[in-house]
Amino acid sequence: MDYLDKQGNTNFLLWFRCKNCYSFAEESGFTMIARDNSGIDINHTININDMRILRVASVFGANASGKSNFFNVLSDMFHNIRGTRKRLLGRPYVFDNKLKDEPIHLEIAFCILGVNDEYMEYRYGYSLNYDNQKGFCNRIEGEWLTSRLFGSNDEYKDVFVRKGLELTILDTGNNEINDFLTEAWNASISKSDVEVTTCKTERECSLFLSWLYNKVKHLKSENDSLYQKYKNFLEIIISIYSWCVSSAPPYLFSDDEMKWQLKAIASKLAIADEKFKKSRKDDDYIRNKNEADEFKCDLTKFLRKFDTCIDGVAIIIPEKYKELLEVEDVDENHLRIIPVGVDAEEINKLEETLMLKQSFGTQKIASVYRFFWEAWRNGGLIMVDELDTKLHPTVIRELVACFHSEIEKYKGQLIYSSHNCITLPNEIKPEDEKYYMHPDEVYFTIKQNNYDPNPGYSTIERLVESFTAQDTAEAIKNRSYRKKYEAGEYGTSPDYFNNLPGGRPTT
């Protein structure tokens, strides 16, 4: 039995690449697939069809080297697929007069459990035209979706290929559904002579994948006979779209983002209290209450790892008001910590017990944990830019350890950036491997300082690319990567002193 069959999480990021996007002038790639014979611990990966998919990856680099732009590229792609913004997101590399007029290229691959319980690899991408005068992307130049059995060496099979507005290939495996979808797409472009210009402009800026998902969703809601007849293919479209839109945008955990997460914590804890009006009416109350109780217990344990004076977390609201409140009415202002040794009746009287009055670090630990806990439970891809901000280094190690855990409840994938290199190993003991990143899981963003042809463009490089064929898995695992990183050996540290008059100080 494959690992995923036990986990229930069947969708994973495999790789991603971009070209001419933000500071990435040249093609840059990023993979979540471990190398063969790399020596990486089995708990760091998910095994599917003899391929090992990474559960976590880290991005390190100097300021202005491209870390945040890497997350911006991914975020733009997911937002464009989601289709919630007025315009397509994306910017070319603007410091090159030729590149700024060329298309932006983005491509992503992911693994999805398809029909017949086979894991399929889907490769999806698009290219955008950027209007430099107007300052936004105004047209989709091309779009494609291909597939093959995951782990095989088969050629990719085209599912659809689009050039401009024209669908040059649409292969669902059945001519009837091919013709139906092609006709519906063409009809949506030119509904009438009056609307043709508007519709054409809208479709030029609409991804076919998003349009196809909405069409399939409509067929499903209508219980259409065509949907029932070709359900297998159409369900795959739903799975592909759903995975893309459920992948969380990169979090910086700003004040607003943290308040949103703390509100989510408060709402979840309120579900566990049957005195709230909404809780009693919820048909799934038992399931939701059990989940909320589990979350409350897990959050308390995690907070106590870093502050033993915390005895728990709770929603403190006078009993007479609970009868009138919906769960949605509960927010971050009702969330409190329970200090050790403080009488329960006194907690509501003490302003110092409010979560919003705790240190920024405690608030972020709680917020990050809620965010991660959902992914551990339900799967999905989560991305956090500068995870280390306001957090003690050991918190980062504990979070990484959860993704490296053999415990089945931890699902999902994490990509994070950090300036703190606490998770880079220095000749670690086998029992401590879960707290550290294997070289397969480490990437560096590097700002190229040569000015020909593109000044200051970014590249993203995998740590293992610096190894030779003679390096053994054991030797790779036991090197002092943190010391090398801090010494600037990977080209990721800014050389401030070379830019100073007179060079490096002598004292």
- Cα separation, 133 vs 249, whole angstroms: 28
pLDDT (tens digit, 9 = 90+) per residue, 397-454? Answer: 999 998 888 665 667 899 999 999 999 987 767 778 889 998 899 999 998 875 555 5
Asked whether 59 and 414 are in contact (CB, 8 A), the reply is: no
CB contact at 8 A, 463 and 443: yes
Q: Are residues 268 and 243 in the same domain?
A: no
Quote the Cα angle for 126-132-135, to 5°: 85
Which has the minimum average pLDDT: 13-17, 101-105, 155-159, 250-254? 250-254
**Are residue 226 and residue 352 in the same domain, yes or no?**
no
201 — alpha (psi -120 to 50), left (phi > 0) or beta? alpha
Query: Distance between CA atoms of 501 and 363, rounded to whole angstroms?
Result: 43
Q: What is the reported pLDDT for 150?
A: 93
In the predicted structure, residue 97 carries a pLDDT above the cut 90: no
CA distance 93 to 96: 7
Which domain-ending residue is among 341, 361, 376? 376
Strand order in the sheet with 28-31: 28-31, 12-19, 104-113, 119-131, 136-149, 157-163, 166-170
The rounded mean pLDDT for the chain is: 83
Q: Do 387 and 415 belong together in one domain?
A: yes
Is pLDDT of 8 > 70?
Answer: no
Confidence check: pLDDT of 364 > 70: yes
Cβ pair 257, 250 in contact under 8 A: no
- How buried is 414 (Cβ within 10 angstroms: 0-12 exposed, 13-18 middle, 19+ buried)? buried
Please name the residues in contact with 317: beta carbons below 8 A apart, sequence gap of 6 or more. Answer: 325, 330, 334
Tokens of 63: 């300021």
- Report which listed range, 15-19, 225-229, 502-506, is most confident: 15-19
Q: Does 363 share its domain with 454? A: no
**CA gap 279, 273 in Å, rounded:** 7
Q: Which of 346, 360, 380 is nearest to 259 (CA)?
A: 360
Q: Which three-class secondary structure string do you get for 93-144? A: CCCCCCHHHCCEEEEEEEEEECHHHCEEEEEEEEEEEEECCCCEEEEEEEEE
Lowest mean pLDDT across 198-207, 344-353, 481-490 = 198-207
Position 19 pLDDT exceeds 90: yes
Number of structural domains (the chain) is 2
In the prediction, which pLDDT does 196 show?
46
Residue 469 has pLDDT above 90, yes or no: no
pLDDT tens digits for 149-194?
999 999 999 999 999 999 888 888 788 888 888 888 988 776 544 4
Positive or negative CA dihedral for 336, 341, 342, 344? positive
Q: Where are the beta strands (DSSP E) in 177-324?
A: 310-315
Q: What is the mean pLDDT of residues 279-295?
A: 71
Same domain, 343 and 465: no
Q: Is the pLDDT of residue 292 over 60?
A: yes
Rounded CA-CA distance 336/333 in Å is 8
List the domain range (segments joined by +) for residue 325: 253-376
107: left (phi over 0), alpha (psi -120 to 50) or beta: beta
Q: Do 239 and 273 share a structural domain?
A: no
The answer to which of 130-144, 229-243, 265-279, 419-433 has the lowest mean pLDDT is 265-279
| One domain, residues 320 and 344 | yes
User: Which of the residue ranges 200-214, 259-273, 321-335 would you say has the lowest mean pLDDT?
Assistant: 321-335
Is pTM beyond 0.85 here?
yes
Check whether residue 260 and residue 299 sit in a common domain: yes
Mean pLDDT of all residues in 12-29: 94
361 and 431 part of one domain: no
d(Cα 141, Cα 144) in Å, to the nearest integer?
A: 11
Which residues, at least 6 apart from 155, have a Cβ–Cβ distance to it below 8 Å?
148
The per-residue pLDDT for 380 is 83
- Judged on CB neighbours under 10 Å (0-12, 13-18, 19+), 39 is middle
Q: In this predicted model, what pLDDT tens digit does every residue of 307-323 receive, in sequence order?
A: 999 999 988 876 666 66
User: By the 8 A CB rule, do 370 and 264 touch?
Assistant: yes
**Whether 296 and 400 share a structural domain:** no
Strands 45-48 and 51-54: antiparallel
Predicted confidence at residue 5, as pLDDT, reads 39
Give the Cα separation of 51 and 31 in Å (integer): 13
Of 376, 394, 426, the residue that ends a domain is 376
| 449 CB-side CA count, 13 A | 10
**pLDDT above 60 (res 82):** yes
Reduced DSSP (H G I as helix, E B as strand, rest coil) percent helix, strand, coil of the chain, to 5: 40, 20, 35
Please give the torsion angle defined by the CA atoms of residues 73, 396, 45 and 383, in that order, rounded to the nearest 10 degrees.
-20
Shared domain for 304 and 333, answered yes or no, is yes
Judge if 282 and 360 occupy the same domain: yes
d(CA 86, CA 139): 13
Sign of CA dihedral 457, 96, 383, 142: negative
- Residue 381: how many CB atoms within 10 A of its CB? 21
Q: Which of 376, 409, 431 is the last residue of a domain?
A: 376
| Of 136, 405, 138, 389, nearest in space to 250 by CA | 389
pLDDT of residue 280 exceeding 80, the answer is no
| pLDDT given at position 9 | 57
Asked whether residue 284 carries a pLDDT value surpassing 70, the answer given is no
Each residue's pLDDT tens digit, 27-79:
999 999 998 877 888 888 988 988 999 999 999 998 889 999 999 999 999 99
Phi then psi for residue 77, to 5 deg, are -65, -45
Predicted local confidence at residue 347, as pLDDT: 85
User: What confidence category does residue 505 fall into, taking pLDDT thresholds of 50, 70 and 90?
Assistant: very low
Could you give the angle at the alpha carbon of 73 between the alpha carbons of 495 and 416, nearest 5°? 65
62-76, 144-158, 334-348, 484-498: the lowest-pLDDT one: 484-498
